Amino acid sequence: MIVTEEMDVSDDEPIRPAPIATALASPRIHMFCEAGSGVAKTADILHSSHLELGSAEIHAGGFSAAIAAYERKPSPDLLIVETHSSPQQVFSALETLAPLCQEHSRLIIIGQINDVNFYRALLRCDVSDYLVAPLAPGQLASSIRSVLNPVGEPATSNMIAVIGAKGGCGASTICHNLGWTLAETQQTDTVITDCNPPFGTLGLNFNQDAGHGLAGALAAGEKLDAAMMETLLARCSDHLSLLIADGLLTDSSHISPASATHIAMLLRQTARIALFDIPCAWNGGARTLIEQADDCIVVAEPDLVNLRNARNLFAAIRADRDDGRSPLLVLNKAGMPRRPEISAKDFADALDVLPSVVVDFDARLFGMAANNGLMVEEVSPRSPAAKSMQRLAGKLACQRLPKPTNLSGRNPVKALIDSINRQFAAK
């Protein structure tokens, strides 16, 4: 965790430095909040943002504090200013702030004015983003991520959470096979984490010893860093690593939200894709990982209990995620002999989402793979199950493409002031 030096902006001490994750290497991020705006809540948003490990400072004072700070200190890579001011007051503050900003600095403004013309004017002048308070969960994190990612470059890593709608539906098997396919067929550095300390099957499915693995990561707490994490991973191949649960009934039988956040950020530094095999539970650690994931996969069998649980999961996940994007659905163990099933169409209609893949029931293939510590594609590369994993991996790979952003490299504050001055001159 990197924490930047606190700035001497006034007699008031900074509220607290808040570690965040960013897609760039250790950018400096400063945020100035208006009084009474719930700065502690904003700090929590930065704590939970799912980007790469970096640092941020949160200060009270809005535009006035930012102006006082940068009269004596260089401006950061990203400046976030919250304001309750009118448009005229915002323009006046920006005119004072502009000469103090370095050329590389970018600006996000959080304001109270919900006016599309004001928003468009700011964006036309290369202000990086304008957000209207109150912010939705994760909205600020999403804005930071898009502003700091350069045009045309993919995010440095991706996080995928896999959870089952019911115990025994095969979510772990799907997660492990998906991770293997991404690593070996997509040639992508991938790490899979078993998030079920007492009952996890990751080591068994890959025929790997647990070592210290997840237990060591949880025991290290805040001392855990990237170098230590490397020693805890089991290397499975050139592109695949595992963070294995020991499968012992110890006191450390759950993952706290803080531990989940810390481990996730470190693993996103370690590999291009980080998969988390989450047990069927709705506790703090599981929910934190799902909220932070770029993509979430819900695995369900085609029966009534799975449908009910999947509906609840989809509703909760859609509400918690900053973009409201739906999880992916994988229907598993379809076509089991002598079992009445809910059709894929009825399942899709109930959840308002089409299954990404439907994996047919094949007890012989999956049983043989599990007993030999292999993945289904290693046992039978042309089987329908292997092709389902390839389709799912391909779908996720396509979704990894970054959204275009409008970063010109110009100083957004100076560009805004120049545009305003031209408008007044024209009048």
pLDDT, mean of residues 404-427: 48
Asked if residue 201 and residue 308 are part of one domain, the reply reads yes
pLDDT exceeds cutoff 60 at 21: no
For residue 123, what are the CA distances in angstroms to 117, 365, 407, 419, 425? 10, 55, 10, 11, 21
- 267 and 375 inside one domain: yes
What is the longest distance spanned by two Cα atoms in the chain?
A: 80
Same domain, 324 and 353: yes
163 and 147 share a domain? Answer: no
Q: 406 or 228, which is more confident?
A: 228
48 within some domain: yes
Q: What pLDDT does residue 399 have?
A: 59
Q: Which residue has the higher pLDDT, 255 or 53?
A: 255
Residues 184 and 252 in one domain: yes
Range of the domain at 117: 16-152
CA distance 299 to 115: 41
Q: How far apart are alpha carbons 57 and 30 in whole angstroms?
A: 5
pLDDT confidence tier of residue 152, bands split at 50, 70 and 90: very low
Q: How far apart are CA 223 and CA 401, in angstroms?
A: 34
pLDDT at 421 over 80: no
Percent of the chain with pLDDT over 70: 77
Q: Out of 12-16, 171-175, 296-300, 334-338, which region has the weakest mean confidence (pLDDT)?
A: 12-16
Strand partners, 296: 161
pLDDT digits (tens, 9 = 90+) for 282-331: 888 999 999 888 899 999 999 999 999 999 999 999 887 766 678 999 99
4: which DSSP letter?
A: P
Say yes or no: 34 and 178 in one domain.
Answer: no
pLDDT at 55: 61
Is 10 part of a structural domain of the chain?
no
Query: Quick one: pLDDT band at residue 128, thresholds 50, 70, 90?
Result: confident
Q: Examine the domain organization and report whether 179 and 88 are in the same domain.
A: no
Cα dihedral sign, 344-345-348-354: positive
> Is the bond leading into 134 cis (omega within 30 degrees of zero)?
yes
Which domain CATH number covers 134? 3.40.50.2300
Residue 425 inside a domain? The answer is no
- Written as one string, the DSSP assignment of 91-160 is HHHHHHHGGGS-TT-EEEEEES---HHHHHHHHHTT-SEEEESSPPTTHHHHHHHHHHSPTTPPPS-EEE
> Are 176 and 110 contained in the same domain?
no
Considering the domain architecture, whether residues 173 and 142 belong to the same structural domain is answered as no
The total of structural domains in the chain comes to: 2
Residues 189 and 280 in one domain: yes
* CATH at residue 184: 3.40.50.300
Residues 283 and 373 in one domain: yes
CA distance 296 to 50: 13
Least confident of 38-47, 290-299, 351-360: 38-47
Q: What percentage of residues in the chain have a pLDDT greater than 90? A: 41
Co-location of 348 and 308 in the same domain: yes
Lowest mean pLDDT among 132-136, 357-361, 369-373, 387-391: 132-136
